[in-house]
Amino acid sequence: MIEILYALSRLNPLTNYYSRLVDFIRQDDNIVPVQGKLYTLNCIRKLKYFDEFELFDGLINHEDWRIRAEAARTLCYYNFNSEAEVLSYLRLLKDKNPNVSRVAGASVKDMKIASTLRSVLEKEILQGIDNRLFTDNTSGETFISLCSFFPNKIPQLIERVDSKIQKSFINSALKYSLSDAKWIFTYLLNQLSTAGEMELLHIVPAMLDIQDSLKTDKDYNKLIISFLQSEYASTISITADELDSIFIADNKSILQQIIIEQIFKFQNNPEYIESILSLVNMSKKISSSLFTTTLEYLKLSNLSSLKNYANYNLGLIVKEEKTIERLDTIIDAAFNYKGAKVLTNKGNFELIFLPSMAPVSVGNFVILSLQQYFANVLFHRVVPNFVIQTGDRSGTGWGGPGYEIISEYSPLEFRRGFVGMASAGKDTEGSQWFVMHSYFPHLNGRYTVFGEIINGMEVVDKIDQGDIILSIELR
């Protein structure tokens, strides 16, 4: 049954199955286990419809936080017609698990709520933020949702919460106020003088959201072009991916020059693989000849992944095999330790290594741990009921150790508690790794499994985005 429910969750909305799906939710956990109910809630969520208020309490108070998180994503599509119903859902904002409350905060914007009840929503959310009743991430996500209901009040709302919410969330909320592009431009510009790469992760997308309104503004265009000339991989990639066709057409000459310069500069640096591919994709929008030129540059890269990408798109059969440097050292390290204890600000969890399936990944993890590489590194990505991800010292999600290792696909499945290597494609793994909250078969055979949590999953479940690894002890 679980396999069938997972398969259904991967399909388009299943309108005709709504009643049957709700029946699965009503079943005891012994009949339809938690994993099955998670997939079922996923199916219902895609319908953007939920009409079973009597199920609210059971889902919101379920003992498994993953059910509560999926409920937050699903129950928001109920047609809320009374204050009691609204307040019932908003209880999720104070859930004891930070991932549940954060998901609920982000899902508030999808609530189907009568216009007469929006004042109730505003009051509850602002009281929660003012009185610090929510986690920092929950406050931020809930504020973004609130702004979606009150786009004309965004400047006043920002003024009220400015000292209580991280700028990253405020900047993300600006997309609901695009009619005042000049105000947004000025607001963001004031942040740039002290912004580092982490801050730019949220400033740049907000700037790009207003490109349609400011396409004739010379200062704005100059700033966007400077983003493409950045030394930060994340800034380059985000900008190249989000530039619209009008901006590209109006600035074709300078963009062509920047693409060539940046690819030539970073083509041998594995931390810029995604940025380079974003620039290459942008070159397609300029001309086929420029696209071909960028591919010819990539053929000269020292990185096998970029060489193979270039050869494939040039129609060449040549395939560059990935070489493994320091192989003896890596293999020795892989079998010298049985596992590791990960100490975090939320508590500790332990994993065992699986070197017979992924010796290079295990050995690389051990070597980096011995170098204290992971000390004070953020969990920069947490997708509730999916994964927690870490291993990037920059905290942006674009960073790595300065080299690539190989992918080690195996028959092992990505079930709850399994540990895998993050990548930007085959043979691009480095230092980023993740732990599964639940079972997601679509990852099987596409990512490397190198470990499994044997103790402390309750700590993994409490990790919130922005939490940190204090240190790693090898065992």
Per-residue pLDDT reduced to its tens digit, 367-391: 999 999 999 999 999 999 999 999 9
Q: Which residues contact 110 (CB under 8 A, 6 or more apart)?
A: 48, 76, 77
430 and 382 assigned to the same domain: yes
pLDDT band at 49 (very low <50, low <70, confident <90, very high): very high
pLDDT at site 321? 73
Average pLDDT over residues 429-452: 97
Report yes or no on 319 lying in a domain: no
Residue 325 has pLDDT above 90, yes or no: no
pLDDT at site 8? 80
pLDDT band at 459 (very low <50, low <70, confident <90, very high): very high
211 and 263 assigned to the same domain: yes
What tokens were used for 333?
């390290």
CB burial readout 45-77, b (16+ within 10 A) else e: bbbeebebbebbeebbebebbbbbbbbbbbbbb
Q: Which of 279, 313, 347 represents a domain boundary (last residue)?
A: 313
pLDDT band at 9 (very low <50, low <70, confident <90, very high): confident
Residue 364 has pLDDT above 80, yes or no: yes
| C-beta separation of 175 from 210 below 8 A | no
pLDDT higher at 262 or 305: 262
Report yes or no on 322 lying in a domain: no
160 and 74 assigned to the same domain: yes
34 and 103 assigned to the same domain: yes
pLDDT at site 326? 82
pLDDT at site 191? 96
Per-residue DSSP letters for 300-329? T-S-HHHHHHHHHHTT----PPPP-TTHHH
349 and 225 assigned to the same domain: no
219 and 132 assigned to the same domain: no
Q: Residue 401 gets which letter from DSSP?
A: S
Three-state SS string over 7-41 comes to HHHCCCCCHHHHHHHHHHHHCCCCCCCHHHHHHHH
Give the chain's radius of gyration (CA, Å): 24
CB burial readout 350-374, b (16+ within 10 A) else e: bbbbbbebbbbbbbbbbbbbeeebb
pLDDT at site 165? 96
Give pLDDT tens digits for 191-223: 999 999 999 999 999 999 999 999 899 999 999
Least confident of 66-70, 130-134, 178-182, 229-233: 178-182
CATH assignment of the domain containing 388 = 2.40.100.10
154 and 238 assigned to the same domain: no
pLDDT at site 3? 79
Q: Residue 99 gets which letter from DSSP?
A: H
H or E stretch including 344? strand 339-344
293 and 223 assigned to the same domain: yes
What tokens were used for 184?
């947004």
- Residue numbers of the domain that contains 114: 2-177
pLDDT at site 138? 98
217: three-class secondary structure by DSSP: coil
Residue 324 has pLDDT above 80, yes or no: no
Q: Which residues contact 153 (CB under 8 A, 6 or more apart)?
A: none
pLDDT at site 12? 79
166 and 208 assigned to the same domain: no
CA distance 450 to 357: 7
Q: Nearest 5°: phi and psi at 433?
A: -145, 165
Residue 13 has pLDDT above 80, yes or no: no
Q: Which of 177, 193, 211 represents a domain boundary (last residue)?
A: 177
Please, what sign has the CA dihedral across residues 179, 183, 185, 191? negative
Start-to-end C-alpha separation, the chain: 39
pLDDT band at 298 (very low <50, low <70, confident <90, very high): very high
**Distance set, CA 219 to CA 186, 189, 202, 216 (Å):** 11, 11, 20, 9
pLDDT at site 344? 98
Residue 16: how many CB atoms within 10 A of its CB? 7
pLDDT band at 16 (very low <50, low <70, confident <90, very high): confident
Average pLDDT over residues 8-26: 87
Report yes or no on 236 lying in a domain: yes
Report yes or no on 320 lying in a domain: no
The mean predicted confidence, pLDDT, of the chain is 95
Strand partners, 352: 339, 452
Q: Which of 145, 177, 209 represents a domain boundary (last residue)?
A: 177
144 and 259 assigned to the same domain: no
| C-beta separation of 278 from 319 below 8 A | no
Helix intervals (H) in 48-173: 56-60, 65-75, 83-90, 98-107, 118-130, 136-149, 154-161, 167-173
pLDDT at site 48? 95
| Nearest in space to 283 (alpha carbons), one of 337, 320, 243, 315 | 243
Give all strands (DSSP E) within 149-264, no chain letters: none
Q: Which residues contact 187 (CB under 8 A, 6 or more apart)?
A: 174
H or E stretch including 394? none
237 and 339 assigned to the same domain: no
Average pLDDT over residues 157-170: 95
Residue 322 has pLDDT above 80, yes or no: no
pLDDT at site 318? 73
pLDDT at site 60? 97
Number of domains in the chain: 3
CA distance 338 to 340: 7
**Distance set, CA 48 to CA 87, 330, 351 (Å):** 20, 49, 38
Give pLDDT tens digits for 245-279: 999 999 999 999 999 999 999 999 999 999 999 99
pLDDT band at 448 (very low <50, low <70, confident <90, very high): very high
| C-beta separation of 76 from 108 below 8 A | yes
106 and 221 assigned to the same domain: no
Q: Which residues contact 258 (CB under 8 A, 6 or more apart)?
A: 225, 228, 229
pLDDT at site 203? 98
